[in-house]
Chain A
Amino acid sequence: MAKKIGQKTKTPMPTEDAAVRRHTFGEVALGYSAELAIQEAARCIECKNMPCIAGCPVEIDIPGFVRQVAAGDFDGAYHTLSLKNVLPAVCGRVCPQEDQCEQKCTLGVRFEPVAIGRLERFVADYAAAKSITNGAGVHPPTGRKVAIVGSGPAGLTAAADLAKLGHSVTMFEALHKPGGVLMYGIPEFRLPKSIVEREIDSLKRLGVDIRTNHVIGRTFTIDDLFNELGFEALFIGTGAGLPHFPKIPGINLVGIYSANEYLTRSNLMKAYRFPEHDTPIVRGKSVAVIGGGNTAMDSIRTALRLGAEHAYLVYRRSRDEMPARAEEVEHAQEEGVDIVLLAAPVALLGDDRSRVRTLRCVRMQLGEPDQSGRRSPVPIDGSEFDLDVDTVVFAVGQGANPLIRSTTPDLPTNKWGYIVADPDTGVTQKPGVFAGGDIVTGGATVISAMGAGRRAARAIDSYLTLIAKEQS
């Protein structure tokens, strides 16, 4: 029997003041206290249908953990959460809950939904502060070996699930730190790296062997993993990882970055702490970021924190079409970002040292809808205008990194280079090879990659069980 409806709006999230935070890399959302968490969890009316669970790509028992928070049983809530989510502190911060669990919330039909994301983050942070580790049981060893290629959210989830099922899991990561986009893509002020490291440590405690500086396709090919290293199944979660640059004059001037490079320098290589850390980054006074997704938001807010006095976000469609989370756009505007809508770059001009100085744009109007259903932007002739900039970051989407494809000729990819894989199981057309996340779907979210990793782990487990039966 559902509870009575109490508080109709979400308990507000304590937030760092915009004037302060635009200059620091500390977290913006500061997290609930225990009292605020209990207050928010008590809003759940414990409805019969529990549609929130279906809205979660990793199938967390949401009513379960929320009920435990409401009762003050935070340890129990963490146990419930970690049964299904190996990265709860990550998801609690970066999931677009408003499009997933919270969108389905019964309370949310008439009022504001339960702030499920904020509660998830509270529980995960509580557990970390108390050093509670994931106590979920691990199956006895099966003796079967699985390789996970890529240590981003898809790979981490697949690795954790397979390790819990008793398989011997080795993860290969090209960069020097695991985490993929969690480490190099999402900034410190949205997702502290110490938190990512802590979540990944829990994987190591499950027995997952993480080998960094291993570029699969180069250090070992996919076939080497089977033939030389004896793996019986493998999951490819290498991400999108091929930046798009428009073919416009001046694209190679100094001070022009892909969002991948800009964010990797800042987040993974900590260029925001140069010269204490050795990797530099151009600290523009006037920065333009091209794009309208979360990556563009991350880029422009990073630019502010690197000392930009003017920050432009240039997006070719209107506000309604921007794919970024509303919360990120609001934070950006509070921090003083100038959002230039219905505009697109046509040229970049530089000084006598080939450093970018001008971004030339043209105004756009919206025409007929394209395949994504969004109205296509069309340039308005003669409407060019210039922005004075010294740094430009392109966050206009990514393609499929060709390294695996070009070194695995018998692994079919589609015409854009993405690996062809079954969306429910991750099965590819190469036996024993499974794939999921951005390398299959194109750029998407952390949580959808995690869902793909979970589904593939299930399929890999079945596949390995089959092999075991055939061999016995």
Chain B
Amino acid sequence: MHTILSKETLAPDVVRFWIDAPPIARKRRPGQFVIIRISEQGERIPLTIADADPAAGTISLVVQGVGKSTKALNRMMPGEQILDVAGPLGQPTHIVPGMSICCIGGGIGTAVVYPIAAGVKAAGGTVTGIIGARTSDLIILSKELSAVADPCLITTDDGSVGRKGLVTDALKHLLDTGFAFDEVVAVGPLPMMRAVCDVTRPLGLKTVVSLNAIMVDGTGMCGGCRVSVNGEQKFVCVDGPEFDGHQVDFGELAARLRAYRDDEALALEQYTQRASV
């Protein structure tokens, strides 16, 4: 049982929680995630650890309410308990001290990229940041990322804040104006990660992506989160969640992410009806 200590809305349907989880807070390294369950009937879902305070024994989760589980979670209040939280899971980000990276966050992906940026900065590296979203309301964690990434560019599809355009436009601009990086770290919707990889592949610029496969146990025993990377089978929960983006079969992952689309819609519909009563 893990108490919710604080709750903050970062954007429509996007909530940041700080929760009590001392062993996880102490052990956690950038790039890792937890698997949580909010009720006895609930499903197990993975969420990136966006931040942690080892001294206070707390971790931060940024949740986008998409389906029933995340929407129900986002309605929980400080003082309430999350039933199950297991972690930290996954391979930590491979950080080379002093490395220079370009961190690109698309939508909720910024919450995944932020801890990586913070980790690289803490290891003496340099971070250039790009945050992208459809519109200004959906830009999150720009203050936090700017504190560790300089410069930190913002792009919106509609130009309501920052540069009008896609994150790939901003990346190309940086590369054209002479920025050089050891690697690019890109996290966001699959089409966005794929698009970034398409830009960097011909340049031979290493690009790390963080994948959000559907998971059940999160410890490598079920194979539900399997992906193809360079034709080999990998499990996102124990081999990832970060992989070489140039080698990932994004199309296959996209199809697997749609496996329960009808069931998810049904669950959400029933939840919405009950919640509105």
Contact = CB atoms under 8 A, between A and B. Distances in A.
A247 B259 CA distance: 21
Interface in A253-311: 253-255, 257-258, 260-261, 264-265, 269-270, 274-280, 282
A51 interface: no
A213 B267 CA distance: 26
Interface stretch (B56-64, B105-113, B114-122, B223-231): B223-231
Given A219-B24, A260-B222, A278 B267 contact: yes
Interface stretch (A140-148, A153-161, A238-246): A238-246
A212 interface: yes
Contacts of A245: 223, 226, 233
Nearest to B88: A218
B270 A280 contact: no
Interface in A208-263: 212-215, 218-220, 239, 241-243, 245, 247, 251-255, 257-258, 260-261
Interface string A391-405: 000000000011100
B199 interface: no
B84 A258 contact: no
Contacts of B224: 257-258, 261
Contacts of B238: 402-403
B273 to A, nearest CB: 12
Contacts of A255: 259
Indicate the member of B24, B41, B42, B227 with the most A CB atoms within 10 Å: B41
Contact of B83 (A175, A176, A354, A403): A176
Contact of A261 (B223, B263, B267): B223
A455 to B, nearest CB: 25
Interface string A404-436: 000000000000000000000000000000000
A282 B259 contact: yes
Contact of A252 (B84, B86, B228): B228
B15 to A, nearest CB: 19
Interface in B59-104: 68-69, 83-89
Nearest to B226: A252
A402 B237 CA distance: 12
B252 A213 contact: no
Contact of A218 (B42, B87, B264): B87
B54 to A, nearest CB: 13
A345 to B, nearest CB: 16
Nearest to A176: B84
A403 B220 contact: yes
Interface residues of A, number: 42
B97 to A, nearest CB: 22
Contact of B37 (A176, A242, A275): A176
A269 B44 contact: yes
Nearest to B269: A275
A174 interface: yes
What is the interface of chain B mostly: helix, strand, loop, or mixed? mixed
Contacts of B226: 245, 252
A275 B223 contact: no
Given A354-B255, A403-B220, A275 B233 contact: no
Contacts of B84: 176, 212-213
Interface string B215-250: 011011111101110000100001000000000000
Contacts of A242: 220-221
B217 A275 contact: no
A354 B258 CA distance: 10
A175 B41 CA distance: 15
Contacts of A264: 216-217, 221-222
A353 interface: yes
B216 A278 contact: no
B86 A219 contact: yes
Nearest to B24: A219
Contacts of B260: 280, 282
Most buried by A among B69, B83, B227, B255: B255
A422 B270 CA distance: 54
B27 interface: yes
A403 B43 contact: no
Nearest to B85: A213
Taking each of A243, A245, A247, which has the highest tally of chain B beta carbons within 10 Å of its own beta carbon?
A243
Given A215-B86, A215-B89, A243 B221 contact: yes
Contact of B266 (A213, A243, A275): A275
B23 interface: yes
Nearest to B262: A280
B16 interface: no
B216 A265 contact: yes
Contact of A219 (B88, B222, B233): B88
B86 A243 contact: no
Contacts of B264: 280
Given A215-B86, A269-B43, A354 B252 contact: yes
A176 B219 CA distance: 12
B130 to A, nearest CB: 31
A403 to B, nearest CB: 6
Residue from A174, A176, A213 having most chain B Cβ neighbours under 10 A: A213
B44 A279 contact: yes
B11 to A, nearest CB: 25
Interface string B17-57: 00000011001000000000100011110000000000000
Contacts of B86: 174-176, 213-215, 219
A13 to B, nearest CB: 33
B41 A254 contact: no
Contacts of B259: 254-255, 282
Contact of B87 (A219, A269, A270, A401): A219
B223 A258 contact: yes
23 contacts: A174-B219, A176-B83, A213-B85, A213-B86, A214-B86, A218-B27, A239-B221, A245-B223, A252-B252, A254-B258, A254-B259, A255-B259, A261-B224, A264-B221, A274-B263, A278-B41, A278-B267, A279-B43, A279-B216, A280-B264, A282-B259, A282-B260, A353-B255
Given A354-B256, A401-B220, 8 more contacts: A213-B86, A218-B89, A245-B223, A252-B256, A258-B223, A264-B217, A277-B43, A282-B260
Interface of A: 174-176, 212-215, 218-220, 239, 241-243, 245, 247, 251-255, 257-258, 260-261, 264-265, 269-270, 274-280, 282, 353-354, 401-403
